[in-house]
Chain A
Amino acid sequence: MKTWVFSTESDGEAAGSALEGLTKAREFGGELGAILVGAGSDAALAQLGSHGATTVLHAAEDNSSAVIAAGIALAVEAEQPDLLIFGTGNLDRDVAGRLSARLGKPVLANAVDVTVEGDTLRVANEILGGSTLVVTEFAGGSPAIVITRPKVFAAEPSGQSAPVVTAMETPELGHADAVETLSQHAEVSEGPDLEAANIVVSGGRGMGDEARFGVLGELAGLLGGAVGATRAVVDAGWVPYSLQVGQTGKTVKPDLYVACGISGAMQHLVGMKDSTTIISINKDAEAPIFGVSDLGIVGDVHTVVPALVEALKARG
């Protein structure tokens, strides 16, 4: 068994999804390697090594996804890995998709578990908002390409030494590579980090507008939590994408999740349903969010949330 795990790098850190994937892949035994796209800092390499990667195939991040996929395809041909694990990040999806088409192998996405039994690789994924578990077997030959959901595997170091680093071959592709990043922009959001927070106060379209969404920042501040949002709120431009919880955003598992004006679309539920305690406020008694809530208040967020804020302030 030979497994490779894909990682991006940001500020000298390997991707959390990669450390989770490496930890999981240690269960399979055999050879374990990583693919790193980024600066290739010693710190990121050490993280990959300590989580089990004995080799790292490295490419600089100014390569297009087409070039990276082609480079990985060359390495796959030479080294014949059985399994490639990606996270849900945008570059992960770009590279996994292109690589799949290049190799003629399927991608199984949204994996919550990967199992190996002899030569058989199976992936479990949750569909229909997490209500149904589907197990799918790869039947197209190696390598199997898997995109895993965030935080389904715990990341734990195993104390190994620094990995052997190889530079990825980056072939000339012509037109497929005719894409260029002109500039990069940061949109900073204030407050604690959403993914690490023990308490998350999240809002949906039901908050009305950007100004009225603001009260959630106040509530999060009083509770010592972070602010999250649904895709609709991010799409409307009220808050940056970094605050999005759900299928195409972040997956959170805080001790407490407070859902305000959120109906609970399947795509949102997969990002928060594993929170320990869920409290929700929504005017529609039929909203699916109530199906996963420990406490649900059927009411107007514009009266319930301000009353809650005032009461918390009064307690000091």
Chain B
Amino acid sequence: MKIVVCVKQIPDPASPYQLDPESYFVVRPNDQVLDDTDRYGVEVALQLADELGDDASVTLLSMSPGGSQQGIRQALAMGADGAILIEDETLRGADALTTSQVLAAAATRAEADLVIAGTESTDGYTGVVPQQVAELMGVPALTFARKVEHVDGKIRIERQTQAGYDVVEGALPAVLSVTSGVVEPRYPTFKGIMQAKSKPVETLTAADLGVTPDVRQKIVSVEAVEGRQAGDIIEDDGEGYLRIIEKLEEVKVV
């Protein structure tokens, strides 16, 4: 089984994001990191591959207009076999649908049996890419999975719902989106980090995949929102709870 895991490199969430003043695109520094939510998809893929044995492979798939591969190496160090990177300046600022067209074409080209993704990225969070990829590939989508099993050649999941969960099963090939509660992602070992440096990374362009980026939306303005002001921030001296009670009295809760 060929498992393809969609991963995204994003600016380090620990530092504030910047928007380019002219294009309004997120400024993407050269040292982007692996989106933390993607580690869950990688882990699910590695566990499925372990269960399936030698016939299974795990390939990372990522669209990254810039040249940095740091985030991809992080995911390779977890144990993926290789990666496909679509590096193309014409994809800078691509919308979710263009991204999905690129990912679907690359996954189809790689003859993926199972495409795994997080439910949404941390930086853009449109939250529709897995579904778009499934539609473009003409395959079922198993989404919002909090538990994943491989049963008799099918994928069975617990799908998160407002009321609880549904047990849903789908035939392969399929797209699977996982929540960040699904598994505990492994940390790369030293050996994994060393091996990641020599793993195969194939680079492609949008044209290689027959995708022409289309402009279907245009940012017309970006402005700062008048945020709420922080009030009293005090160090607890053992009587912090009394300040809370005062506040509760002030807003007439007690």
Contact = CB atoms under 8 A, between A and B. Distances in A.
Interface of A: 10, 64-66, 69, 88-90, 93-102, 104-110, 122, 126, 128, 130-140, 147, 174-188, 199, 223, 231, 234-237, 240-242, 247-248, 255-256, 266-267, 273, 276-277, 279, 281, 285, 290-300, 303-305, 307-308, 311-312, 315
Interface string B168-202: 11110110000111000000000000000000000
Contacts of B170: 178-180
Contact of B140 (A88, A177, A242, A255): A177
A133 B222 contact: yes
A255 B163 contact: no
A311 B140 contact: no
B49 interface: no
A135 B221 contact: yes
Nearest to A222: B254
Contacts of B144: 90
Contacts of A133: 221-225
Given A132-B19, A308-B245, 8 more contacts: A90-B160, A101-B133, A107-B126, A176-B140, A241-B165, A290-B233, A295-B243, A297-B241
B253 A256 contact: yes
Give 9 nearest A-B pairs by CB, closest first: A299-B236, A97-B131, A140-B216, A97-B128, A235-B181, A187-B164, A101-B135, A178-B171, A296-B233
Contacts of B95: 106
A277 B247 contact: yes
Given A134-B222, A137-B217, A179-B171, A187 B165 contact: yes
A187 B159 CA distance: 13
Interface of B: 13, 16-17, 19, 24, 95-97, 100, 119-120, 122, 125-136, 138-144, 146, 156, 159-171, 173-174, 179-181, 214-225, 227-228, 230-236, 238, 240-245, 247-248, 251, 253-254
Contacts of B231: 293-296
A180 B168 contact: yes
A66 to B, nearest CB: 7
B170 to A, nearest CB: 4
Provide the main secondary structure of the chain A interface.
Answer: mixed
Provide the main secondary structure of the chain B interface.
Answer: mixed
Contacts of A241: 146, 160-162, 164-165
Contacts of A106: 95-97, 216-217
Contact of B230 (A10, A132, A140, A296): A296
Contacts of B228: 273, 292
Nearest to A96: B128
Contact of B125 (A130, A183, A247): A247
A131 B247 contact: no
Contacts of A108: 217
A135 B220 contact: yes
Contacts of B19: 132
Given A106-B216, A122-B220, A285-B233, A100 B128 contact: yes
A202 B90 CA distance: 44
B240 A297 contact: yes
A267 B134 CA distance: 26
A135 B140 CA distance: 33
A261 to B, nearest CB: 13
A304 B236 contact: yes
B35 to A, nearest CB: 12
A136 B220 contact: yes
B219 A136 contact: yes
A270 to B, nearest CB: 9
